[in-house]
Amino acid sequence: MSKTATEIEQPDAEQDDTALFGFWIFLMSDAVIFALLFATYGTMTQATAGGPTAAAEFKLVPTFIETLLLLTSSATFGRASVAMKYDEPRRVLFFWLFVTLGLGLVFLGFEAKDFADMFADGAYPSRSGFLSAFFALVPLHGLHVVAGCFWLIVMIVQVRVIGLDRRVKLNLLRLGLFWHFLDVVWIAIFSVVYLGGHIA
Amino acid sequence: MKNGTERRTELRTYAVGYLLALALTGAAFAAVVWPSFAAGTTLAIVLGLALVQAVVHFRCFLHITMQRASRHDLQLILFSTLIIVMMVGGTMVLLMNLRTRMM
Amino acid sequence: MNTPVWPLLLGRFEWRDLPFVRAILDPSASNLVGAFAGGLVVVGAIVVALVLTRYGKWRYLWSEWLTSLDHKKIGILYIALAFVMLSRALVEAVLMRGQQAVAINTPGFLTPDHFGELFSTHGSIMIFFMAMPFLTGLINFVMPLQIGARDMAFPWANSVALWLTAGGAGLMMASLIVGQFSTGGWTGYPPFTEVAFSPDVGPDYWIWAVSLGSIGSTMAGINIACTLYKQRAPGMAFMAMPLFCWTSLCTAILMIFAMPPLTVATALLALDRYLGFHMFTNDLGGNMMNYANLFWLFGHPEVYILILPAFGVYSEVVSTFSTKELYGYTSLVLATMVIAVLSFTVWVHHFFTMGQSANLNAVFGIATMTIGVPTGVKIYDWIWTMFRGEVRFTVPMLYALAFMMTFVLGGFTGILLAMPPLDYLVHNTLFLVAHFHNMLIPGLLYGMLAGYHYWFPKAFGFRLDEKWGRIAFTCWVVGFYLAFMPLYVLGASGMARRTHEIFDPSFRPWLYVAMAGAGVLFCALGSLFVQLVVSIRNRDALRVFAGDPWDGRTLEWSIASPPPEYNFAVVPNVDGRDIFYRRKHAEHQAPPYAEPYAYEDIVMPRNSASGVAIGVFAAVSAFGLIWHMWWLGVAGAVVGIAALVTRSFGRDQHRILLAADVAREDRRWRAALAEARSISRHTEMTTANQGLAER
């Protein structure tokens, strides 16, 4: 025999392609979940039951800062992907991954603060159908970011412990897709929920 | 060096995407903070900008192009968009109809 | 008996939640039935464990089956799960028919709540834990063989999907032993399933069992679609795929896009129940009509998830046993795609009476009738395939024929129901119940059973007993007509579905006939088990080791039965449809069993216990949430996630099969092939059949 199992186990480019396609399908399936929560939110904007309304509760300044944080984290993750693809020194990769993680965590901090303020205002999910729909939609995106951050930590550890073998690279590519996808969902959230809430 | 050129092109794509995203986000927020149109028009502008920004993200960050390599991905995304439009559109029409009839 | 026991540890568990305790406190017929069912689950589990220990089969079971990533074994496990769950749900159906037959102006032997549990579990199990595992298992087993692949695109995710589904099924079984199930039907409509009206654990069992099943199905869908897109044998164009693969692809696409609405519906209902949200409540702005909307955004495509694979099976079966090429292949592919897309445009017909405007109803009514067109195309294609063919009436073919006639009948009543004014009259009656059983029994169950008989020799290397197969078939068909035709009459006369007690004595004769039909259906299930036992005992005579018992047309028949772990010693090159049949029977073709020039090393995935761990701990976590044992909910989730992360760190997850070993195994089969007697098609149902067709 000529090759060991570990050598052959390294998937070739075609298998990478399959794996990424599979992940794209998952993302689209996830997109349907978000789309339906948006539709549900859209049909419940009037259901405030005499409680807090969108215009009163949604603050544009923190939303704008959160948006900038997420946009920037997408760009920094892109920078990390380039570092991985062109075999730049390991510390460059780590630097950009850590920056991305940091931005993600700060985003989560801001969002948690937003929710805490809303709770303090009496705007909690059990208050009305409208707030229920809001808290079903926006924190789900937040939970995705939490999952993304956790995954990022796992990947940083794997790059450190295992190095950049093909599977680690593949998983970083998938995480990249996930991260950029969350950005697209956030565009819809700030446009429909936050800006939309202030227009109406 | 070919690798170097490719790398520069890729970095430029991310940079362009980032700048476009910032500009589009800024425009959307500006349209709401300094309203100069009727509410309906503003909403349409904001949603239009969001759509454009989503396309920018798909093109610059997620590398979905018209090239052959990402043809399957593009087909998948377009089909998903069709399904989402049917589901969201149907839900809105149906539940709005029910709401008006129950008023 | 009515206070929680150690609430910190056991959440809201009370002694009364055990059916045995209930039966002792109040030995009514209903409670005794409940205790007997719970006892059956416990005793059954103990007996299985004892048998495994007695024969020392634990290790074999664990390392050869439960942790295997082989798509064939995963497929077989799915189907085994489906048969277990089918047995339970069918018994429940018999109980319900019994109750309705006796409860005319008397309360009968079941309490209303118990009756409610029965129709809820019957529906939930039949859809999520019988039909879905059966079709997923069949696709899992057959599809990679048909496209010349060695495994699915993601073997490990395949195992996770199986175990999530099994975890959901486990929760359904647990509800027999602790607590009670939902009484809200398989659709779980709020506000009835909200805390205000159903404060017990029932709806929570339903929510989490269904959620695990739907996540598993989404994963299975992604896997199937990816496999078909990326793993086809070299040269196999999309239009060269067997029709079963096409229907698998469309089913997979439906799973990917139709399961999320269900996940959203159950998750939002869970938020209402656990965190006091107001998504679907009566008060504070909740909108329960959105639940119906979300549920049926899933529910209607789900109907086609169930039916399309059966259409695929029929296409293969009708073509093989008519000894003819499938008529209208292209039109069948197009019809399948049209059905898949249209299935997303008709969901409103499940709630025509909710109060939306007549114009909206008209749009969805017309869209619904449109689906009849591609379905009709398919029926004609199958009829034309049989036309002037040399039809052999084997068991799968009999199911296909029964399907064609019965399904068309159900389709007619479907067109009736698609008219909103008529739907207003018969909605929520037994007419509807008769209609959907009339679609799903031929359109799903017969198809799955046809596939089971058709591919069983491929999976295990011996045929199923023909005589008992015919007995079972007769019972399934006669039982169906006896059990469900009366329901059309009853429904049209105004008898509401899900009725616990009946006050119109003129319904009595029809209910008796339906009861008798349920009894015949029970015998049908029994015959299937007898058939399995008889076939296993008689397996040496039924052996078809050469691998091609039916003069098959597609690639799966060109290899040994049972197939080796890697399916194909050398991946075949494919230049069109029915390639194996053409090689056997057409001139100017390469011979069907040409020995390869050279063998290569093959890489196969190693077994993995993490799929089992993720499924089991997801179910444990869900069990904790159901009973408000918060520590268990958290602990289960943490262990499940830890198993996932550990797997991602693992390396060396493949093993290599040496070319020399592959060659030896392949040559051994070829030697047996050379020894085998070839048979003409007319003797394929006799023991002369060794799996080699006459050329």
What are the pLDDT digits (tens) for A150-166?
A: 999 999 999 999 999 99
Q: C508 pLDDT band (50/70/90 cuts)?
A: very high
Calculate how close chain A gets to C261, using CA atoms only, in Å. 6
Beta carbons of C119 and C290 less than 8 angstroms apart: no
Contacts of C267 in chain A (CB under 8 A): 136
CB C355 within 8 A of CB C288: no
Whether the Cβ atoms of residue A28 and residue B78 lie closer than 8 Å to each other: no
Is the model's pLDDT at C36 over the cut of 60? yes
When scoring B71, B75, B76, B94 by the number of chain C Cβ atoms within 10 A, the one with the most, hence best to mutate, is B94
Separation between Cα atoms, residue C530 and residue C563, nearest integer Å: 26
Contacts of residue A36, Cβ cutoff 8 Å, sequence gap at least 6: B87, B88, B91, C260, C261, C264, C294, C297
CB C188 within 8 A of CB C206: yes
Q: What is the pLDDT of residue A2?
A: 41
Mean residue pLDDT of chain C comes to 96
CA atoms within 13 Å, Cβ hemisphere of C462: 17
Residue C63 CB neighbour total at 10 angstroms? 12
User: Is residue C566 within 8 Å of residue C604, measured between CB atoms?
Assistant: yes
Q: Which of A12, A15, A30, A36 to mutate to test the interface with C (most CBs of C within 10 A)?
A: A36
- Could you give the C-alpha distances from C92 to C189, C207, C341, C480, in angstroms and in order? 21, 20, 34, 16
**What span, in angstroms and rounded, lies between the C-alpha atoms of C142 and C221?**
15
Contact C75, C83 (CB under 8 A): no
CA–CA separation, C379 and C383 (whole Å): 6
User: Are the beta carbons of B28 and A195 closer than 8 angstroms?
Assistant: yes
Residues belonging to chain C: 695
Residue A5's pLDDT is 46
Q: Looking at the predicted structure, is the pLDDT value of residue C112 above 50?
A: yes
Q: What is the mean pLDDT of residues C269-289?
A: 96
Instruction: Let me know: does C193 contact C153? Beta carbons within 8 Å.
Output: no
- What is the model's pLDDT at position C202? 96
Span C161-189, mean pLDDT?
97
Question: For position B66, what pLDDT does the model report?
Answer: 77
Torsion of CA A144, A146, A148, A152, to 10 degrees: 180
Nearest CA to C575 out of C233, C93, C347, C223 is that of C233
Domains, chain A, with CATH or none:
16-197 (1.20.120.80)
User: Considering only CB atoms, which residues of chain A are within 8 Å of chain B?
Assistant: 21, 24-25, 28, 31-32, 35-36, 38-40, 42-43, 46, 60, 64, 67-68, 71-72, 74-75, 78-79, 82, 85-86, 177, 180-181, 183-184, 187-188, 190-192, 195-196, 198-200
How far lies B29's CA from each of C384, C394, C500, in Å? 63, 69, 59
Residues 6+ apart with CB under 8 A from C46: none
Which of C691, C394, C693 has its CA nearest to residue C543? Answer: C691
* pLDDT computed for residue C1 by the predictor: 60
Q: What is the DSSP string of B41-80?
A: HHHHHHHHHHHHHHHHIIIIIS---SSGGGHHHHHHHHHH
Report the pLDDT averaged over residues C179-183. 96
A136, C279 in Cβ contact below 8 A? yes
Q: C61 near C460, Cβ under 8 Å?
A: no
Q: With an 8 Å Cβ cutoff, is C289 touching chain B? A: yes
Residue A4 has pLDDT above 70, yes or no: no
Q: Residue ranges of chain B with pLDDT lower than 50?
A: 1
Question: Which residue in chain B is spatially nearest to C359 when comparing CA positions?
Answer: B97
Average pLDDT over residues C490-494: 96
Q: List the single residue in A with minimal CA-CA distance to B89.
A: A39
Using the predicted structure, report yes or no on whether residue A3 has a pLDDT greater than 60: no
- Give pLDDT, residue C686: 92
CA distance B73 to C619: 34
| Partner residue facing C603 (CB), from A8, A48, A49 | A8
Interchain CB contact of B62 with A (< 8 Å): yes
CB pair distance less than 8 Å for A43 and C257: no
In the numeric block, which tokens belong to residue C426? Answer: 């018969």
Alpha-carbon distance of C582 to B39, in angstroms, equals 67
C140 C-beta neighbours (distance < 10 Å), count: 29
Say yes or no for a CB contact (<8 Å) between C348 and B94.
yes
pLDDT confidence of C514, banded at 50, 70, 90?
very high
Among A116-120, B66-70, C33-37, C477-481, the minimum mean pLDDT is found in B66-70
What's the pLDDT at C408? 96
- CA–centroid distance for A119 within its chain: 23
C-beta separation of A171 from C648 below 8 A: yes
Amino acid occupying residue B57? H
Provide the β-strand partners of residue C693: C679
C-alpha C414/C-alpha C422 separation (Å) is 11
Task: Kindly give the pairing relationship between strand C602-605 and strand C654-657.
Answer: antiparallel
Tokens, residue C338? 């049209």
Burial of C345 (0-12, 13-18, 19+ CB in 10 A): middle
Per-residue pLDDT at C206 exceeds 50: yes
Q: Which of C230, C249, C253, C257 to mutate to test the interface with B (most CBs of B within 10 A)?
A: C257
- For this complex, say whether ipTM is above 0.85: yes
Closest partner residue to A36 (CB to CB) among B53, B61, B87 is B87
3-state secondary structure of C462: strand
Which of A95-104, B60-69, C346-355 has the weakest average pLDDT? B60-69
Q: C43 φ, ψ to 5°?
A: -65, -40
- Find, among C55, C93, C668, the residue nearest to C433 by Cα: C93
Average the pLDDT over C380-390 and give the result: 96
Predicted pLDDT of residue A200? 65
Instruction: Judge whether C532 and C464 are in contact, CB under 8 Å.
Output: yes
Closest residue by Cα to residue C203 from C282, C127, C271: C271
The CA distance from B66 to the nearest CA of chain A, in Å, is 16
The continuous run of DSSP H or E covering A20 comes out as helix A13-43
Question: Which residues have C-beta within 8 Å of that of residue C601, sequence separation ≥ 6?
Answer: A1, A3, A8, C656, C657, C658, C659, C662
